[in-house]
């Protein structure tokens, strides 16, 4: 799937329902980011019923219902929150408002599934942790660059099988196309989007923790810059960071809004995962000048050097696992600790980042 910008990246997979019709109803609230479409696609393919949607902007609701006609346009947020049949609320609010929405959702006895970054400050993180503890509800996060990318899913399976031994380093590149005229105003306001390391950097840190099996890490260094978009003084179009995990694994990642127009998709997302017995390279969205289709994975270990073309081959198990976790109160899709640790580290990386020009 080729897109001009990642804001409208909404992968579609094969239906793989884990529940029957009518068993798990969910709703969408806050349509500020196009990722809401990918979030809903994933849940629907796993068997969930999208029954309602609310956003204060009628145009956003109209476009959403056109894509998902099964969703009833609610008259208010309260209409959804007060409906006991709705078990989970998916939301893609302005990043700085995602935590407040989550608190309201959990206060009404529902689980919450938010776009990344799930919040923008450490104060919000403490509020979210407290509300999870108080209510027993989930505050799950759509870290799409792993959860909705088949090559990344397959990399996790290979690592679990021991294909490259102990993972000792993850290097990630998350370039994005800015496509500024299509972006909403909040996208360029620092207080609202939280900074580049907090926003798209959250994908990278989540993957580092997941692929290394780390429970914690520390940010050794981080940098941000606005190299090429001086018309938007609060935008950061470049960021990078180095981390060391509690198990000794290391991470370097770079994120940017500098993807050139000549690339056939919105970003050449890549990752190299080094193990003691081999390595994996993932080319997520394109194999430049060779194959416009993404989801390429290269594996080298003691036995093989192998290329896998994985588009349509692996699926997206997270969404079915999330539904079953909500029903059974388990943590197979993602632990709450992991979801929160990833955002804690991206906020800390953002807070301590050196500004360069």
CA distance 32 to 246: 36
Q: What is the pLDDT of residues 267-321, one digit of tens each?
A: 999 999 999 999 999 999 999 999 999 999 999 999 999 999 999 999 999 999 9
Mean pLDDT of 74-102: 98
Q: What is the CATH number of domain 146-316+347-355?
A: 3.30.360.10
Residue of 67, 66, 65, 25 lying closest to 47 (CA atoms): 25
pLDDT band for position 4 (cuts 50, 70, 90): low
**Other residues' Cβ atoms within 10 Å of the Cβ of residue 340:** 19
Structure tokens at 258: 């500098």
**Residue 134 per-residue DSSP state:** H
Query: Which DSSP string corresponds to 44-70?
Result: HHTT-EEEEEE-S-HHHHHHHHHH-TT
* H/E stretch holding 151: helix 150-160
Q: What is the pLDDT of residue 1?
A: 39
**Other residues' Cβ atoms within 10 Å of the Cβ of residue 38:** 22
Residue-averaged pLDDT of the chain: 97
Structure tokens at 250: 């290391």
Structure tokens at 259: 């993807």
Determine contact, residues 129/226, Cβ cutoff 8 Å: no
Q: What is the pLDDT of residue 16?
A: 94
- The domain limits of the chain are 146-316+347-355
Determine contact, residues 36/61, Cβ cutoff 8 Å: no
Q: What is the pLDDT of residue 2?
A: 46
In order of 127, 208, 221, the CA distances from 243 in angstroms are 25, 9, 7
Helix axes 201-212, 336-351, angle to 10 degrees: 130
Residue of 201, 213, 223 lying closest to 269 (CA atoms): 201
Query: Which DSSP string corresponds to 157-182?
Result: HHHHTTTT-SEEEEEEEEE----GGG
Residue the block writes with tokens 């929405």: 101
Contact residues for 230 (Cβ-Cβ < 8 A; gap 6+):
none
Task: Give the distance, in angstroms, between the CA of residue 147 and the centroid of all CA atoms in the same chain.
Answer: 7
Mean pLDDT of 53-57: 98
| Cis ω for the linkage preceding 207 (within 30 of 0) | no
Q: What is the pLDDT of residue 303?
A: 97
Determine contact, residues 74/54, Cβ cutoff 8 Å: yes
Residue of 90, 53, 44 lying closest to 75 (CA atoms): 53
CA distance 126 to 139: 12
Mean pLDDT of 147-155: 98
Q: Is 51 helix (H, G, I), strand (E, B) or coil?
A: strand
pTM above 0.75, yes or no: yes
Contact residues for 43 (Cβ-Cβ < 8 A; gap 6+):
26, 50, 88, 90, 113, 319, 322, 323
Q: What is the pLDDT of residues 23-42, one digit of tens each?
A: 999 999 999 999 999 999 99
């Amino acid at each position: 799937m080729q897109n001009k910008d990642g804001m409208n990246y909404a992968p579609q997979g094969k239906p793989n329902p884990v529940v029957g019709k009518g068993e798990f109803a969910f709703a969408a609230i806050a349509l500020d980011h196009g990722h809401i479409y990918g979030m809903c696609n994933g849940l629907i393919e796993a068997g969930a019923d999208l029954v309602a949607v609310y956003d204060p902007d009628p145009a956003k609701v109209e476009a959403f219902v056109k894509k998902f006609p099964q969703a009833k346009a609610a008259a208010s947020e309260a209409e959804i929150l007060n409906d006991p049949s709705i078990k989970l609320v998916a939301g893609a609010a302005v990043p700085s408002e995602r935590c407040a929405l989550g608190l309201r959702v959990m206060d009404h006895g529902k689980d919450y599934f938010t776009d990344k970054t799930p919040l923008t400050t450490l104060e919000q993180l403490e509020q979210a942790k407290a509300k999870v503890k108080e209510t027993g509800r989930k505050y799950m996060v759509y870290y799409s660059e792993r959860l909705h990318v088949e090559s990344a899913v397959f990399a996790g399976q290979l690592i679990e099988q021991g294909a490259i031994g102990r993972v000792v380093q993850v290097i990630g590149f998350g370039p994005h196309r800015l496509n500024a005229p299509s972006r909403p105003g909040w996208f360029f306001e620092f207080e609202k989007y939280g900074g580049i390391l907090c926003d798209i950097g959250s994908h990278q840190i989540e993957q580092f923790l997941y692929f290394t099996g780390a429970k914690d890490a520390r940010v050794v260094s981080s940098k941000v810059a606005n190299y090429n978009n001086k018309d938007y003084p609060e935008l950061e179009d470049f960021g990078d960071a180095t981390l060391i995990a509690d198990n000794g694994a290391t991470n370097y990642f770079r994120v940017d809004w500098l993807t050139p127009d000549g690339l056939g998709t919105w970003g050449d997302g890549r990752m190299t995962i080094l193990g003691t017995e081999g390595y994996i390279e993932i080319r997520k969205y394109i194999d430049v000048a060779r194959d416009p289709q993404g989801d390429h994975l290269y594996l080298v270990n003691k036995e093989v050097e192998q290329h896998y073309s994985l588009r349509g081959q692996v699926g997206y198990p997270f969404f079915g696992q999330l539904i079953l976790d909500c029903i059974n109160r388990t943590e197979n899709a993602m632990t709450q600790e992991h979801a929160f640790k990833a955002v804690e580290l991206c906020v800390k990386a953002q807070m301590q980042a050196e500004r360069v020009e």
